[in-house]
């Protein structure tokens, strides 16, 4: 049975707004941590645009998850792939593994913990050589902000990994090509 969760447009608008704020914050963070900051419109528009699109589609995915109908909405998680390009490649395995660990609440705890530990360990490995033992307060603030942005991205991606709610409609009968259902 589908739940009444309102319009998808509201979820998408909220997602777009948070995606925009997330992108602007990430761009400001990049300038903050850089030793020789450069500004390019192309880079800025890519980051802000990619996070806004990912936020919008995450809002739509959240709405579909709340409706508890079908599985196709999980493909909206592909909107995160552009965020895993260039310097974002360091974040990609962490937010995917961490998102699965966070979202799959019905999986055994040991599997979720293992995925979460791998996600965190990847970040430790990536950054061991890149930080001078927090030589400056600026580096410590930069790492703390990075961890915050990564946590937001991981949480957002976890929406794609969530199981359907317990009251979800049964899957449509796909054995027959003539099967018609509104479960998708």
Q: For residue 174, tell me if it sits in a domain.
A: no
> Bigger pLDDT: 3 or 122?
122
Q: Domain of 126?
A: 8-161
- Report the percentage of the chain scoring pLDDT > 90: 55
Task: Supply angle C-alpha 102, 155, 65, rounded to 5.
Answer: 80
In a domain, 106, yes or no: yes
Reported pTM: 0.80
* Cβ burial, residue 76 (10 Å; 0-12/13-18/19+): buried
Give the residue with greater pLDDT, 169 vs 146. Answer: 146
Residues 95 and 148: beta-carbon distance below 8 Å: no
Report yes or no on 146 lying in a domain.
yes
Domain annotation covers residue 182: no
In a domain, 167, yes or no: no
Tell me, yes or no, whether 172 lies in a domain: no
Per the prediction, the chain carries an average pLDDT of 85
Residue 142 lies in a domain: yes
The Cα 135–Cα 8 span in angstroms is 47
Total number of domains in the chain: 1
Q: Give the whole-angstrom CA distance, residue 63 versus residue 56.
A: 11
Task: Determine the pLDDT at residue 84.
Answer: 87
Give per-residue pLDDT as tens, 171-181: 554 444 433 34
Residue 2 lies in a domain: no
């Amino acid at each position: 049975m589908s739940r009444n969760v309102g319009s998808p447009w509201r979820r998408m608008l909220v997602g777009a707004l948070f995606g925009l704020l997330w992108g602007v914050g990430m761009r400001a963070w990049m300038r903050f941590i850089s030793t020789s900051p450069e500004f390019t419109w192309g880079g800025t528009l890519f980051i802000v645009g990619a996070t806004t699109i990912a936020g919008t589609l995450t809002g739509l995915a959240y709405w579909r998850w709340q409706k508890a109908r079908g599985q196709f909405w999980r493909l909206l998680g592909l909107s995160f792939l552009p965020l895993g390009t260039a310097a974002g490649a360091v974040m990609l395995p962490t937010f995917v593994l961490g998102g699965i660990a966070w979202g799959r609440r019905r999986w055994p705890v040991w599997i979720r913990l293992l995925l979460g530990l791998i996600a965190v360990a990847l970040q430790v490995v990536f950054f061991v050589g890149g930080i001078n033992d927090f030589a400056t307060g600026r580096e410590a603030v930069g790492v703390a902000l990075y961890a915050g942005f990564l946590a937001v991205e991981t949480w957002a991606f976890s929406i794609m990994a969530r199981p359907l709610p317990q009251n979800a409609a049964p899957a449509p009968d796909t054995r027959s090509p003539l099967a018609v259902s509104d479960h998708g």
